[in-house]
Amino acid sequence: MSPTRRDFVVAGAAAALGTVALRRLAIAGPVPQGQPAQPVFTPIRRNVGYFTMRGGTIGYLINAGGVAVVDSQFPAEATACLAGLNERSGARGVDLLINTHHHGDHSGGNISFRGVAKKVVAHAKAAEHMRMPPGAQPPADQLFPDTTFTDTWSADVGDERIVARHHGRAHTSGDATITFERANVVHMGDLMFNQRHPVVDRPAGAIMRGWMTVLDRTIAAHANDTIYIFGHANTGLAVTGDHTDLAKFRDYLGAVLAFADAQVKAGRSREEVLAMRDPLKGFESFGRFGQPGARDALTVAYEEVTMGPGA
C-alpha cells in the first residue's frame, strides 16, 4: 500500500520530532511482517551510490575530497545511514546534505545530521515547507536548510560536480533533481515513482501537467546513459533506471489526466470518478485505482481538469 498525501504531510512534522513510528513502507514495498528494515548501501558508479531502509531512497557520494548525501529518510534510518557512511569514509563527516523536497520520509532524518553536516541545501520552497508543512504543525526541532536556491545550485565535492535543478512545480512546488555530473547519476527524489501510484501534494503546490514537463526537461538535460535514482518503486522493482522509466512515468501522469477528463466529459460526478477501482489501461503494473496513492493521483487529476492547476 502506498502512503497517502496526508501520511507524507504528517510524517513531515512528526518525523522531525523523532516520534514517527517506524511503520513506513520500504522503498520497493513493505517489509515482511516481523522483519525490521535493514540498511543497504548499493554502489552505482564513480563513488556514487544509494541507501535503502525505510522512506525515500538516499543518495550518497564518498570520494577523496568529501562526502555528500541526498535526502535523509527518518531519524533512526538517518542514524543507520550515517554509521555506514562513517565506516566507508573514515568518519570524516558530511560536507553536504541536500534535500530533494520537504516530505518527512525524505527530510525527517535531517535532525540526525546536526553537528555532522557542514551545509544543508534545498530549494527555497522546500525549505519553506520544511519549516511550515502545508496542512501540518511545524516541527519543534529539526535541522533546516541553511542554503537555498530558486533555479540552480552547484558545488564541487572532491573531483565530483553536484548540480541541483528546479524545473518547475511537479510533485510539490519545491522539488529538485540532484545531478552528480561526472558520475552521470541523477537523484530524482519523488519526481520518480517507478511503476507505482504517486503522492501528488496539491496543498504544497503540485501540478500533474507541470510534473510531465519537469520529467521532459530532466530527460533533455541529461544523456541517454544517465542512471536515475528514484524516490520509490513498486514492490519488487528497482529504484534505479534510465530515461525510458522517466518517460513511462510521464506517460502515466498524462494517462491519469486524460482518464479524469474523459470521465468528466461523460458526466460522471467526483464521487463516481474517485470510486473507480480498475487499473488504468496501459499502466496495469501501477496497481488498481482505490489505493491511497492512486486515489490521491486521481483526485488531483480530477481537480486539475475541473478547477485548474491551483495557485
Q: What average pLDDT does the segment 182-202 reach? A: 97
Amino acid identity, position 24: R
Q: How many other C-beta atoms lie within 10 A of the C-beta of residue 303?
A: 17
Confidence (pLDDT) at 292:
85
Q: What is the pLDDT of the chain when averaged over all its residues?
A: 90
SS3 202: helix
102: its cell numbers: 520537504
Q: Is the pLDDT confidence value at 15 over 80?
A: no
Rg (CA), the chain: 18
Q: What is the pLDDT of residue 35?
A: 52
Pairing status of strand 227-229 against strand 185-187: parallel
- Please indicate whether residue 139 or residue 245 has the higher confidence score (pLDDT): 245
pLDDT of residue 33: 41
What mean pLDDT is predicted for residues 174-181? 98
Domain ranges for the chain = 5-307
Lowest-pLDDT choice from 26-35, 91-100, 132-141: 26-35
For the ranges 120-124, 175-179, 289-293, 303-307, the lowest mean pLDDT is seen at 289-293
State residue 10's pLDDT score: 38
Fold of 5-307: Metallo-beta-lactamase; Chain A (3.60.15)
Strand order in the sheet with 177-180: 152-157, 160-165, 177-180, 185-187, 227-229, 240-241
With beta carbons less than 8 A apart as the criterion, state whether 100 and 178 touch. Answer: yes
Nearest to 235 by CA among 189, 279, 287, 187: 287
Residue type at position 227? I
Confidence of residue 69 (pLDDT cuts 50, 70, 90): very high
Q: How confident is the model at residue 311 (pLDDT cuts 50, 70, 90)?
A: low
From 21-25, 186-190, 191-195, 221-225, the region with the lowest mean pLDDT = 21-25
Specify whether the CB–CB gap between 177 and 165 falls below 8 A.
yes
Summarised one tens digit per residue, pLDDT across range 211-250 is 999 999 999 999 999 999 999 999 999 999 999 999 999 9
pTM of the model: 0.89
- The predicted pLDDT at position 16 comes to 36
pLDDT band at residue 310, thresholds of 50, 70 and 90?
A: confident
134-147 per-residue burial string, b: 16 or more CB within 10 A, e: under 16: bebeebeebbbbee
pLDDT at 37: 87
> For residue 238, what are the CA distances in angstroms to 7, 55, 179, 223?
23, 15, 19, 20
pLDDT value for 143: 98
> Cell match 551545509: residue?
119
For the stretch 238-241, contacts whose Cβ atoms lie closer than 8 Å and that sit 24 or more positions apart, written own/partner, are 238/28, 238/194, 239/27, 239/28, 239/50, 239/52, 239/57, 239/194, 240/44, 240/50, 241/194
| Residue written as grid cell 519488487 | 236
